[in-house]
Chains A and B, each alone.
Chain A
Amino acid sequence: MQTRPNTMNTETSLMNAARAPRPALAAVLAAVLAAAPPAQAAHTIYVSNEKDNTVSVIDSEKLEVVDLIKVGQRPRGITISKDRKYLYLCASDDDEIQVIDLDSRRIIDSLPSGPDPELMTLSPDGSILYVANEDDNMISVIDIGRKRILKEIPVGVEPEGMGISPDGKTLVNTSETTNMAHFVNTTTFEVFDNVLVGNRPRFAEFTHSGTQVWVSAEVGGTVSVIDAATRKVLKTISFALPGIKTESIQPVGVRLTSDDRFAFVALGPASRIAVINAETFEVEKYLLVGARVWQLAFSPDEKRLYTTNGVSNDISVIDVEDRRVIKSVAVGRYPWGVAVRAGG
C-alpha cells in the first residue's frame, strides 16, 4: 500500500501496480495516506470474475490481490459458510455450486443446483443453501450436509435476488421478468405471497430486525421497501443525480448496516453508491465508484464497504463512517460477486 497511490478514480486504477509513484505525486500521496482511516480488523475479500473464471483474493491490510483461484465457468454469486471455512460459488455455466476451501484456496467439492445458478443465500444455521436458478424459473433448496436438492420451488421468470429473514422462516426471491418479490415459507417451501415491484428486480435484503425487505429494481430504477408482515410496499425510493441520465440509474446490490440505520445501494451504470437513511428513506449521499457497480459487501466490523465494478474491472473500497471512497483495486474481468471473511 505504501508504494501505490490511493485512488478513487477508475482510470488510475488501471495503472501498472508495480510502478512506483512519481516524485511529484509523493506529497499528494503522503497527504492521502495521512488521511487514511485507522487500521481495520484484518479480513479477506473474495471477488468472482465472471469472464475470467477466477476468484480474486484480496488482503484487507495491503488492499492488494494476493491470490487468484481458478473456478468453474461464469462465476457469479458467492457466499461464505457460517463456519467461515468455505466459499460457495455459483458456477453459472457449469450448472453447479462449487465449494472452495478458503484455507487451501482449492475447490474441494460441488453441490447440485438447477440450471444457471446466479445468486444464493444461506439459512441462518448455515445448513441450507437457497439458490436462484435463472434459466428454469425455480429456486433450489440444497441440503449442504447431504449434498442434495431437497426441493425445487417454482417462482417467476428469471429468479435472481435472494433474501432470508433473520429467523430463517421466510425467504424472499425476486424474479427479473415477472417483476415480483415472492415470499416463501421455508418450512412448507410454498410461495405464500407475491409483491409487485419495479421492473427487473435484482436483489432482496431483509433488515436485521426482520421487519422490512428492501428490493432493488434495475430497469425500474427504484428500491421498494416492503413491510415483511403485511407485504405492503412502504416506500419506493428513486434516485436522481445531476448530469446522469435517469436511464443509467440501475439499482442492483443492497446492504444495510447491522443497526438498520443506513442502506447502501449500488446504482449500476451510474457508477455511484447511494447512501440512504433507512429511517427516513432519504438519499443522503452518492459516492462515485467504478463503472457499472453491481454487488456490495461490508467488512466484518462494517467500517468498510466493498463494491464490484463490472466494467472498470476493479473493486472500490468505501470508508463507511467517512462516506468516501478510499481506494480502487484492480481485479479480473467482469467482477460480479463479493464476499468477506474475518481473518486471513
Chain B
Amino acid sequence: MTRGARWLAAALWLVAGTAAAVETVDIAFLKKEAERLPKLSNLDPPPADDGALGGKQGIADNNTTGRFLGHSYRLETIVLDEDGDVHEALRGLHARGVRQFIVDADAGELLALADSDAGRQSWFYNVGAGDDTLRTRQCRRNVLHIAPSHSMRADALAQYLMARKWPRWFLVSGRRGNDLGFAAAVRRAAKKFGGKISAEKKWEYGPDMRRTAASTVPVFTQDADYDVLIVADVVGEFGEYLAYRTWKPRPVAGTQGLAPVTWHRTHEQWGAAQIQSRFSRNHGRRMSEKDYGVWAAVRAIGEAATRANSTDHEKIAAYIRGEAFELAGYKGQKMSFRKWNLQLRQPILLVSPTSLVSVSPQRQFLHQRSVLDTMGYDRPESQCRLDQTP
C-alpha cells in the first residue's frame, strides 16, 4: 500500500458453522475519502466507520441465510485518505481473487476503477456518486448504482412539494460539483412535475456562517418570491443556517431542512424497526444512509447468490442483472435494477432531523413500468442501453 493508504479494518471472518463444504464470496468495500472539509456548520461529522458497519451487518445477515446453503461471505474494508491510490488497492484485492467491489468514491475514480484492467474483470457497486451522467451517458456494464442519483432525490422532493401544492421554489446552490449536480436536478424536477424556479441564487458568502447568518440570510433572501427554499449544499457548508432566518416565513428543503434520503433513524415502517434495532445493538450507533447503501449492496450480492444457488461471481452478476432479481430493503416495496443503466430503484424518504415526513414516490405520480421510475431519468431520457446486447 502507499503511504497515503491506511487499513481501517481487517478482513471479517464471519463464517457460520456447517458440516457441508462452505463456499465463500469475498466482497471488498473500498472507500476513498474526499478532500477534508472545514466542517464548520456540521456538528455531527460522519463516523470513521460510516458505511463499513452497514457492510458488516449485511455480511452477518447474508451468513445467517448462507449457512443453510453452504455459502459464506467475507468483507474486507479499505479506507483510503485523499492521497490514497484506489487502483493499487483494487489490484491487490483482485490478485487475491476478490471480484465484488463496493465503492464509495467520486464519479471519476469510480469510472477509472471500472475501466482498469483488473476492474474490467470485476463488478462494482456505487454507494457514493450521485452524478446523473453515470446514469445517462457514462454507464458501464460492470457498475451498479446503489446510491440514488441527484435527480432521484430531487424528483422525490419535487413530487412531495407538488402534492402539497407548494410549486414555487427558490433555489440556492453552493459552490461544489455535487451542489451544482443537485441544483441541476432540482431545475429538471421543476420542469418534469410542473413546479417553477421562481428565484435562484448562488451562495457566495463562504462556509463559516456561525456569527453572521442572522444578518446575512435575511438580506440574501429578501427579494425572492417563493413557497419553499430549496438548498443544494451537499457537504453542509451553509445550508443549516438558512432555516428560520429567511426574510419570509418559508420552509427550507433539499440537502438541509426537509431532505430526500435513502435511510434515516426515524424510519421504522415495513420492518425497518427490526434492522434499526439490530444495527444499533450490534454496532453501538445508528444506521446511517451510507451504512444502508453498503448493507444493500452486500445484501444484493447475497440475494443473488442465494437465488442462483452459487457463489460463482459470473452467476451472481448475471442473476442481479436478470429479470427475477428483487431486493427487500425495508421500504414497503421490492427494489430492483433499471436494466438500461443498472440503477437501483428504491423509495426515497423525506425527513426532517427528527421526523419522517413522507416517502416518495407520492401516490399521485404513476408510471407504466414501476412507480419507482417516476424518480430519476427514465429510459427514453437516458442514452444508456445496457439492456441491449453490445
Contacts and interface: CB of A to CB of B under 8 A. Distances in A.
Contacts of B61: 157, 177-178
Nearest to A198: B326
Contacts of B334: 199, 219-221, 247
A178 B71 CA distance: 13
B352 interface: no
A134 to B, nearest CB: 6
A179 interface: yes
Contacts of A221: 334
A128 B307 CA distance: 34
A234 B366 CA distance: 34
Interface string A176-188: 1111101000000
B68 A219 contact: no
A137 B274 CA distance: 11
A200 interface: yes
B266 interface: no
Contact of B68 (A177, A194, A200): A194
Contacts of B366: 245
A194 B372 CA distance: 32
B65 A178 contact: yes
A135 B278 CA distance: 7
A158 interface: yes
A161 interface: no
B65 A219 contact: no
B249 to A, nearest CB: 33
Interface in B353-390: 366, 370-372
B333 interface: yes
A175 B62 CA distance: 12
Interface string A204-234: 0000000000000001110000000000000
Contact of A179 (B65, B271, B371, B372): B65
B150 to A, nearest CB: 24
A196 B274 contact: no
B85 to A, nearest CB: 36
A77 interface: no
A134 B274 contact: yes
Contacts of A199: 326-328, 334
Interface string A258-270: 0000000000010
B57 to A, nearest CB: 10
B306 A219 contact: no
Given A158-B271, A196-B307, A247-B333, A180 B64 contact: no
A220 B371 CA distance: 16
B45 to A, nearest CB: 30
Given A199-B326, A245-B371, A247-B334, A135 B65 contact: no
Given A135-B278, A196-B307, A245-B371, A180 B327 contact: no
A96 interface: no
- B interface bracket (residues with beta carbon within 8 Å of A): 20 to 34
Contacts of A200: 271, 328
Nearest to A137: B64
Contacts of A177: 61, 65, 299, 328
A253 interface: no
A245 B374 CA distance: 13
A305 to B, nearest CB: 25
Contacts of B64: 137, 156-157, 175, 178
B65 A176 contact: no
A157 B303 CA distance: 13
A152 interface: no
A149 B299 CA distance: 32
B24 interface: no
A111 B271 CA distance: 24
A116 interface: yes
B277 interface: yes
Interface string B300-336: 0001001100000000000000000011100011100
B333 A135 contact: no
Interface string B37-61: 0000000000000000000000001
A220 B307 CA distance: 13
Contacts of B274: 116, 134-135, 158, 176
Interface string B262-276: 000000000100100
Given A179-B306, A200-B271, A156 B68 contact: yes
Contacts of A179: 65, 303, 306, 328
Nearest to A246: B370
Contacts of B326: 199, 219-220
- Kindly list the 9 A-B residue pairs having the minimum CB-CB distance in the complex, ordered from nearest: A178-B65, A247-B333, A219-B328, A194-B68, A199-B328, A200-B328, A157-B64, A219-B334, A157-B61
Given A135-B274, A158-B274, A247-B334, 18 more contacts: A116-B274, A135-B278, A156-B65, A157-B64, A158-B271, A175-B65, A176-B328, A179-B303, A179-B328, A180-B65, A180-B68, A182-B68, A199-B326, A221-B334, A247-B370, A247-B372, A248-B333, A250-B333
10 contacts: A135-B277, A176-B274, A180-B68, A182-B68, A191-B68, A196-B306, A220-B326, A245-B366, A247-B332, A269-B332
Interface of B: 61, 64-65, 68-69, 271, 274, 277-278, 281, 299, 303, 306-307, 326-328, 332-334, 366, 370-372
